[in-house]
Amino acid sequence: MNIVNDSTCSWINDLPPRTNIKSLQSNEDSEWLIIGAGYTGLSAARKLGQLYPNQKIILVDAQLAGEGASGRNSGYLVDTTLNDGFTSNKDLDNYKKKTDIYNLGINVVKKFINDYQVDCDWNECGKYFASSKKEDEKILRNFSDTLKKLGFTHNLLSNNELSKRLGSNFYNVALYTKGGVLLHPGKLVRAMIDVLPKNVCLYENSSLLSWSETKDIISCKFKNGRVITKKIIFATNGFLKSLGIKSNYNFPITLTASMTRPLTDDEFKSIGQPKEWGVLPIRPMGATIRMTKDRRILIRNTAEVHNPLKMSESELNKRAINQKIGIKKRFPQLPENIVKSSWSGVVSRTRNSSQIFEKIDNNIFAAGCYNGSGIGVGTLFGEQIAIKATEENSKEIKTIEARRKPTWLPPNPFLNFGVKGRLIYERFKARSDI
Ligand SMILES: Cc1cc2nc3c(=O)[nH]c(=O)nc-3n(C[C@H](O)[C@H](O)[C@H](O)COP(=O)(O)OP(=O)(O)OC[C@H]3O[C@@H](n4cnc5c(N)ncnc54)[C@H](O)[C@@H]3O)c2cc1C
């Protein structure tokens, strides 16, 4: 398995290049092996390193640590989501369980940045669920009822107020939630790499090729070596399925995004000099669009079934055209050529949008499938799956395990047909807001 990420993500390219990168070049034994060094794997390694400072913990990644989805997402640390259909009373209880997990996720990231004094452009500015279609107010009023019952501070906004706040006349209706944070995802994940405990060996560009378990010993094969370990945690999110983990419960989806250069003073004035903001779509396939602290505009408006291992430059360029159009629709006064970078990233989904957090076998654990909430939930699940793997319990694990469990998915080719069909339908429904 060879994962080839594009090297064009501005979040990652904002950071100083890393040094001291090691890959696995020999056979090793360890107490713990963690596969995948995004928010989940890094948090699991940090937690285990703190719990067992004298044990050997190996953390591997197929590419550079933190340069998968964790370094290339849109940077919304969410307290609530709208896109999973939890807008009826019948689902209130499940929705509450979901937001309890989000809340723990926000707290765990907050604690991390406070403990390690991390600068990741943290801004508790809330977020907007917005639509260009006035008739979507119905969906938002319904959602507002749910939020009211659960005590989330929010309010509905219409066109005039929105244009002042966002600097765009595009949106006609929105629901603003006070909770939720915007941040720089690359800076956050880099900090998680930088503070790894001393007893964690990080091997990068080291893809797990195959693994097997005999008599409670797990043997893992890499291109240039083998690791024999007592316990293993799979934290590969969009690549859980390709490693055979919970394969009938998750599937990868590829997203693409683009970001502009910082707007000039004149360009920024032309859109009314708004404060930093983040908009999430009302329909799942609408665009996520964000104004960053340093006046860049980020847009993510694709989600598709695609080969998760690689997206070619020409395929990425095609998607970037859609993103330029999305920015132009919202900011017609800005020049055409301001997009500086476009990139792709892979996430993992389940049928009912529920996450995987599981002991798969005696010594085998997995966490993933966070959809658009992986910053907080991935960090939380990473720490908690490490605790679960030590056979301990916590109040966080109790909350996590009270959620709905992921539901079964049909095998391919039925799965791919079904998902593709659904995405086409959702894209059609969201067509005005892409
Ligand atoms: C464009 C985009 C926008 C998003 N926006 C948001 C957002 O605004 N807010 C939010 O909360 N979430 C968002 N997400 C989702 C979020 O990024 C993910 O949920 C989160 O990063 C998952 O973290 P992770 O550590 O579980 O997985 P990843 O960061 O994907 O890490 C998994 C790692 O496993 C490695 N790996 C895979 N296979 C192997 C193997 N065989 N051997 C070794 N290593 C392997 C990969 O190289 C990868 O680095 C977005 C994602 C994308 C792509």
Mind giving me the DSSP string for 170-226? Answer: --SEEEEES--EE--HHHHHHHHHHT--TTEEEE-S--EEEEEEETTEEEEEETTEE
pLDDT of residue 84: 56
H or E element in which residue 128 lies: strand 127-131
Residue 164: what residue type?
Answer: K
Residue nearest to atom 3 of ligand 1 (CA): 73
What is the average per-residue pLDDT within 339-354? 95
Which residue out of 347, 365, 373 has the highest number of ligand 1 atoms within 8 Å of its CB and is therefore the one to mutate?
347
* pLDDT 10s digits, 90-131: 689 999 999 999 999 999 999 999 999 999 999 999 999 999
pLDDT category at 5 given cuts 50, 70, 90 is confident
Q: Give the per-residue pLDDT at 85.
A: 55
Say if strands 173-177 and 127-131 run parallel, antiparallel, or are unpaired. antiparallel
Is 38's C-beta closer than 6 angstroms to any atom of ligand 1? yes
How far is it, in rounded angstroms, from Cα 173 to Cα 165?
12
pLDDT of residue 284: 85
Residue of minimum CA distance from atom 22 in ligand 1? 374
Q: Could you tell which of 47, 60, 82, 237 is best to mutate to test the pocket of ligand 1, judged by most ligand atoms within 8 Å of the CB? A: 237
Nearest to 283 by CA among 418, 391, 143: 143
Tell me the per-residue pLDDT of 180-224, one tens digit each, with 9 for 90 and over: 999 999 999 999 999 999 999 999 999 999 999 998 899 999 999
Prediction pTM value: 0.97
Is the beta carbon of 375 within 6 A of some atom in ligand 1? yes
Nearest atom, ligand 1, residue 41 CA? 25
89 has a pLDDT exceeding 70 = no
Q: Give the pLDDT confidence of 9-32 residue by residue, as tens digits.
A: 999 999 999 999 999 999 999 999
User: pLDDT tens across 288-327, in order?
Assistant: 999 999 999 999 999 999 999 999 999 999 999 999 999 9
Short-list 319, 323, 321, 289, CA closest to 306: 319
Instruction: Determine contact, residues 373/425, Cβ cutoff 8 Å.
Output: no
70 Cβ closer than 6 Å to some ligand 1 atom: yes
Percent of the chain residues topping a pLDDT of 70? 98
pLDDT at 86 over 80: no
Picking from 63, 20, 65, 62, the residue whose alpha carbon sits closest to that of residue 44 is 65
